[in-house]
Structure 1
Amino acid sequence: MKIAFVTPEYPHQNFGKSGGVGTSIYGLTKALKELGHTVSVLVYGQKKDAYFEEQGIHFYTIKNIKLKGLSLILTQKKVERLINALYDQGRLELVEAPDWTGFTAFVKPKCPVVIRENGSDTYFCHLEQRPVKFKNKFLERRALKRADGIISVSRFTGELTNKVLGLKRPFEVIPNSVNINEFNPNHSDKQPLTILYFGTLIRKKGLFELVEIFNRVHEKNKEVKLVLVGHDSGDIKTGKTSTWSLMQPVFTASAIKQVQYLGGVNHQMIQEVINAATVCVFPSFAEAFPLSWLEAMAMEKPIVASNIGWAKEMINDDKEGFLVHPKAHDNYAHRILELLNNQQKREDFGKAARKRVIKDFSHMEIAGKSVEFYKPFIK
């Protein structure tokens, strides 16, 4: 099978900064290649047009066409022409694209188009209770309406996307995945008690709630450290350019002395950081099926996470982790302290979490399910 991914991001030095969508595509492309399929990645929004091949995967960098008022449609048509050229040359049979901002709304290729719902702008705006841009909602709705097939990374995401966009499109639930060989537990010597958050520093991921939660944990345990890993971002609510700068004054004077912010780290380093953690925390308000959670689970780390929607499809409360609403600061802190004080509980949660990942969320398992979904669309 010959599959191409159209995306604005991909975690490679040639493409700049990448988020969760790019990382999920990265894992899927690697697994599909291992299964013997031909994989191409078309990354738009780049500085130049180029082609290169690496580890058997074909990469096409696409420079956006800039013309006031027409840039988007002209770039979409440029991508359409590339897809059709590759199709005519027998280099691809199907294209997959993310739902974010509906890039394929006006792309009409000769081959089938599958959209994978990792959370559209409309979806996230709804979860964050803020207005969505009309253009984004229009494009996302049109792209999903015209897609040949739809995959959603969680049932919650698929159902809510249909609701907020006024659609009744059927979808297949195929979760995000993690490479269980890369994210493999490596239990080292006794480490200091550490709470780890890794991901973008942004309001929707509950970073301001985490400050309040850690203040409460610190009241009970002055030795535990909080480590934050991830790129800083602007704050939509206040208009400030740094979420980290907004967080710092909210910590108590004593608690902030136990906080370490490492910024963004590379793929190899994140595994070392996770391995050194005692407990991982994810008090998010808006996700679809977060890779960071899967990575922590694969490395047998006990988790205290949000209990909203998608979370219950990933973690069974009090089995593979604790699920608590981010605004329940006292209860959230209590669960963290419970794990910090109970090594056996941490070990039980960690082992159960990795077992769940191996069974349901390994990258080869998910790649295989994706291929089965693609098959009916390829004649």
Structure 2
Amino acid sequence: MHICFISSEYPLWKSGGVGTFLQTFGRALVREGHKVSIVGLGNSYEEQLIDKGIKIYRLPRSTVPVGKFFFNTRCIASKIAMLHSQEKIDIVESAELGLAFLKKNSEIKYVIRLHGGHHFFAESENRDVHWWQALKERLSFKKADGFVAVSNYVREHTSRFLSYHDKPIDIIYSPINTELFKPNAHQEIEPLNITFVGTICEKKGVRQLIMAMEIICKKYSKAHLNIYGREWFYKDGRSYTDMLHAEYGDIIDKCVTIHGVVPYEKLPSRYGLAQICVFPSHMETQGLVAQEAMAMEKPVIFSKLGPGPETIVEYKTGLLCDPLNVNDIAYKIIWSFENMDRVKEMGKNAREYVLNTFNIKTNLSKNLDFYRTLIEA
């Protein structure tokens, strides 16, 4: 089978959940003898990369002041048509917006994987739906032959705003590389090390987590929050990290270190240092970082919103917090420090759960079965 993914995100140049999924899933497909192409936008020139058998095509972005989306879509469509002429493509897969103006080929089946689109995050972040983004998303959904949701929550929540047009839809969790993310008995844990991994932005709950540190440090003066992730910028170019330093400089200077991006292969060593991993996202479609830390038997505190309850059974495989309540975040962290025997047991349960639910083999099989049902329909 030849699967072509439309994406401009990939760990070779940009960290993020979608790119991480593509790398983990794509490499698994290649190992099973399938062909994987990724077509997306890059810089001002075209380049081709190969990552363990995955062929990646980065196309030049449009520089015209108006109509960039049309030009970029045409560029992607041309590349897909060329690849199809060279070696038949069975499946083209994109995120929510990717099919809006893409010309379909009757020999190919088109899949949208619900990673969280414009309608989904506009509602969850309490901001207005933009008419142009909304139009593209509706057009894209009409063109899909099938949908894959990365959680039941994203499937149900998206259906409040968009129609699946009676097309096939399945819930398939994104896989975790449990060989990369596994317990390391030789790595010492840093006492009172609280670790966060993810984009440093408002919707990931970073601000509330920093505010919670003021409460935590009153009881545990040596507690320290380590933040790893890529920077986020406001539309006017202002840095979110700069805002955090300006508003919470005293707390950060006392007990927080913002490290920036860590290469994907080095993440296990950062998780390994942690006594507790905390991910108080305001909203997720599913996310990967909580499961990565769980796979390493780390005590995890995740958001109780969205798909949190799908990921964690509270006090059995981890803890859930109200990400908008600073006191609740602080309470769950303090409780973890005071009940380390309990949280160690939860960590072991968490890895077993991840091995059973997010393993690559099961994920690969479910995806291939879904693709085949579309091709044979």
Same fold, judged at TM 0.5 (above): yes
Residue matched to 1:228:
227
Q: How does 1:71-150 map to 2 (within 5 A)?
A: 71-99=68-96, 102-110=97-105, 111-150=108-147
Stretch moving more, 339-348 or 50-59:
50-59
The 1:354/1:154 distance shift into structure 2, 3 A limit, reads: same
Q: Cα gap change, 1:20/1:254 in structure 2, threshold over 3 Å: closer, same or farther?
A: closer
- The residue identity in structure 1 corresponding to 2:346 is F
Question: 3-state SS of the aligned residue for 2:103?
Answer: coil
Q: Which runs of 4+ in 1 moved over 6 A?
A: none
- Provide the rounded CA distance (Å) in 1 between the counterparts of 2:250 and 2:83: 59
Question: Which residue is equivalent to 1:186?
Answer: 184
Match of 2:204 in 1: 205
**Does the aligned pair in 2 maintain the 1:40–1:59 contact within 8 Å?**
yes
Q: Calculate the TM-score normalised by the size of structure 2.
A: 0.93
Mark the CA change 1:301 to 1:190 in structure 2 (over 3 Å): closer, same or farther. closer
- Between 1:207-216 and 1:162-171, the stretch displaced more is 162-171
Tell me the secondary structure at the aligned position of residue 323 of structure 1. strand
What is the CA distance between 1:86 and its match in structure 2? 2.0
C-alpha separation between the residues in 1 aligned to 2:73 and 2:249?
Answer: 49
> Displacement of 1:137 after TM fit?
1.1
Which residue number in structure 2 is paired with residue 267 of structure 1? 264
1:6 pairs with 2:1: no
Deviation at 1:354, TM superposition (A): 0.7
Question: Within 5 Å, which residues of 2 pair with 1:291-310?
Answer: 291-310=288-307
**How far off is 1:265 after superposition?**
1.2
SS of equivalent to 1:144? helix
The one-letter code sitting in structure 2 at the alignment partner of 1:4 is: C
- 1:171-216 deviation line (CA, Å, top 9, x unaligned): 2111112100011111333522211111111001111211221111
Identity of aligned residues (%): 30
Cα displacement (A) at 1:50: 3.1
**RMSD of equivalent CA atoms:** 1.9
- Residues 335-374 of structure 1: per-residue CA shift (max 9 Å, x gap): 1111112221121111111111100101222122111110
- Output the CA distance in 2 between the equivalents of 1:332 and 1:54: 39
* Cα separation, 1, equivalents of 2:64 and 2:234: 29
- Cα 1:378–1:166 change in 2 (3 A) is closer
Question: Residue in 2 aligned with 1:196?
Answer: 195
Give the residue type in structure 2 aligned to 1:136: Q
1:211/1:250 contact within 8 Å kept: no
Inter-partner Cα distance in structure 2 for 1:165 and 1:321: 33
Over residues 245-300 of structure 1, what are the superposed CA-to-partner deviations in whole Å (9 max), with x where a residue is unaligned?
A: 22235548467412111111111322111000000111111211111111111111
Judge conservation of contact 2:283–2:306 (CA < 8 Å) in 1: no
CA apart distance, 1:219: 1.3
Structure 1 residue 171 corresponds to structure 2 residue 169: yes
Name structure 2 gaps, 5 residues minimum. Answer: none
Distance in 1, Cα, partners of 2:349 & 2:113: 28
Alpha-carbon separation, structure 1, partners of 2:125 and 2:165: 23
C-alpha distance in 1 between matches for 2:223 and 2:44:
45
Structure 2: distance between partners of 1:147 and 1:166:
11
Matched-pair contact (CA < 8 Å) for 2:213–2:251: no
Per the TM alignment, residue 220 of structure 1 is displaced from its structure 2 partner at its CA by 1.2
Q: Find the aligned partners of 1:156 and 1:5 in 2 and give their Cα distance.
A: 23
1:248 to 241, 245, 250: 245
**Cα offset for 1:75?**
2.2
Amino acid at match of 1:2: H
CA contact (8 A) 2:6 2:94 kept: yes
Report if the CA contact (8 A) 1:215-1:252 is conserved.
no
Q: Which amino acid aligns with 2:177?
A: N
The residue identity in structure 1 corresponding to 2:199 is T
Letter in 1 for 2:47: A
The structure-2 alpha-carbon separation of the partners of 1:62 and 1:369, relative to structure 1 and needing over 3 Å to count, comes to: same
In structure 2, distance between residues paired with 1:82 and 1:273? 38
Of stretches 250-259 and 369-378 in structure 1, the one that deviates more from structure 2 is 250-259
| Structure 1: segments with no counterpart, 5+ residues | none
Counterparts of 1:298 and 1:348, CA distance in 2 = 13
Which residue of structure 2 aligns with residue 371 of structure 1?
Answer: 368
Whether contact under 8 Å (1:218, 1:255) holds in the other structure is no
Q: Distance in 2 between matches of 1:148 and 1:223?
A: 54
- The verdict on how the C-alpha distance between 1:260 and 1:60 changes in structure 2, with shifts beyond 3 A counting, is same
Q: How many positions carry a matched residue from both structures?
A: 372
Amino acid at match of 1:179: N
Q: Paired residue for 2:319?
A: 322
350, 359, 364: which one pairs with 1:362?
359
Q: Which stretch shows the higher mean deviation, 87-96 or 24-33? A: 87-96
Letter in 2 for 1:205: K
Q: Which moved more, 1:362-371 or 1:68-77?
A: 68-77
Tell me, yes or no, if structure 1 residue 59 matches structure 2 residue 48: no
Q: 1:19 to 1:254 in 2, by over 3 A?
A: closer
Conservation of the 8 A alpha-carbon contact between 2:113 and 2:147: yes
CA separation in 1, counterparts of 2:338 and 2:265? Answer: 29
The answer to whether the 8 A contact 1:6-1:44 is kept is no
SS in 2 for 1:374: helix
